[in-house]
Amino acid sequence: MSRRWIATVSGPLVEYASGFSEELVDLGYSKSAAKKQMQLLAHLDHWLEVEVHEVGELTTDLVEPLFAARRNEGRSNLLTTKSLKPFLGFLRRAGIPEPATAAPTDPVELMVDRYRRHLSQERGLVEGTVHFYVHVARLFLSERSVIEGVDLAGLQGADVIGFIGRVCEGRGLSSARQAVSALRSLLRWLQMEGLTQPGLDKAVLSAAGWCPNLPRAIDTGQVARLLRSCDRRRALGRRDHAILVLLARLGLRGGEVVRLELEDLDWRRGEILVRGKGGREDRLPLPADVGTALAAYLQRGRPQSASRRVFLRHHAPFVGLADTGAVRGVLERACERAGIAYVSPHRLRHTAATEMLRAGAPLSEIAQVLRHRSPTTTSFYAKVDLARLGELARHWPGVA
């Protein structure tokens, strides 16, 4: 890369310019994209010097005025604080820690923060679940907020029942059940912390309702169209095809696909290690078609990268997929190419289970593949097996 842009950095960021320039090359940035990043770095360097800020203070919130100025000046690229993510990542890897945020002083937020750490560190829940549980916890604890702190000593079952009625109002059945689970979790934690009397979680009534629908699988023809929609002559097509095969054949969740690492593929034994919900790890057989799709991507599609994630971004920086949103994006584009309505990763999981059942696999084996903790969860798929259910159904009187 030209040294010109490095030379324009002469303020607080001067000692990081050369290393950042080299990292951009290592991450696969094109010359044009890397040049724009270095131009932004020069602008940031000048801004920090004028505003008298140190490198250690850098956060996206701090530099929002810089990007507001860039937008007002009519610049055409790198206009939001998200553009600073590559450099902030470089600083963290270079040993510059993220500035400490002010510790919360509000009693509710202090308790919510402790509960969040419990969910993440001790229970190992995924980020999305933690976010929802914390949301419900904040609503509940805010209602108990008083001048002295959070009043939990007088908490009664009637208070719990009243809250769950309010928080479930207007929610669908699935969302209401999630809210019920979140409140039970919070009450058990509060009891464990000695902040409430025992047994209040029993006061959380289950969300009444029954879902009569069959699992929302798609037919094999639609699955075939999704897979055929990937242009496997191109690297991106091979990546997307491998992701879709994992979803459709093994019923992996989107997050499990994102978390796959190279070491999780045991080619000699023909197994794949799946890192599931709650920190659970399971080994599954690696079917031939899944292995073929993965090998095609790894050999002729995956960019060179220091990342150990199996699936990487197709454009620089060549790092692992950010989150399940990337997997949903793969499916969304595949559905558009195939000319079918959007299919979520979970519907492909339903499809994998349904196809196994129709092929004669018992529910116990399906539970092992889907890694269900409870047999009750897998029994949901019994609704699909209409032939076997027909054998159990009694004939209507008067009908031969």
Instruction: Please tell me what DSSP assigns to residue 309.
Output: B
DSSP letters of 311-365? Answer: SB-SSSS--B--SHHHHHHHHHHHHHHHT-----HHHHHHHHHHHHHHTT--HHH
**How many whole angstroms from its chain centre is CA 2?**
38
Taking a C-beta distance cutoff of 8 angstroms, is the pair 327, 234 a contact?
Answer: no
Task: Give the tokens for residue 347.
Answer: 């519907």
Q: How far apart are the first and last CA of the chain?
A: 83
Per annotation, catalytic residue among 277, 314, 333, 358: 277
Per annotation, catalytic residue among 135, 188, 337, 346: 346
User: How many residues can be counted in the chain?
Assistant: 400
Per annotation, catalytic residue among 253, 259, 309, 347: 253
Per annotation, catalytic residue among 16, 29, 297, 381: 381
Q: Tell me whether residue 381 is one of the annotated catalytic residues.
A: yes
- Residues in a beta bridge with 312: 320
- Please state, in angstroms and rounded to a whole number, the distance separating the CA atoms of residues 66 and 70: 6
Q: Tell me whether residue 241 is one of the annotated catalytic residues.
A: no
**Of 216, 221, 187, 228, nearest in space to 204 by CA:** 187
Per annotation, catalytic residue among 46, 333, 372, 383: 372
Q: Is 146 helix (H, G, I), strand (E, B) or coil?
A: strand
Print burial letters for 1-20: b (CB count within 10 Å at least 16), e (below 16): beeebbebbeebbeebbeeb
**Of 303, 301, 321, 322, nearest in space to 311 by CA:** 321
Per annotation, catalytic residue among 249, 302, 309, 349: 349
Print burial letters for 323-345: b (CB count within 10 Å at least 16), e (below 16): ebebbeebbeebbeebebeebbb
- Cα distances from 239 to residues 145, 185, 323, in angstroms, run 50, 38, 16
Q: Tell me whether residue 349 is one of the annotated catalytic residues.
A: yes
- Cα distances from 130 to residues 70, 87, 91, 134, 345, in angstroms, run 36, 28, 28, 6, 20
Q: Tell me whether residue 277 is one of the annotated catalytic residues.
A: yes
Which run of H or E residues covers position 285?
strand 281-285
- Where in the sequence numbering do the catalytic residues fall? 253, 277, 346, 349, 372, 381
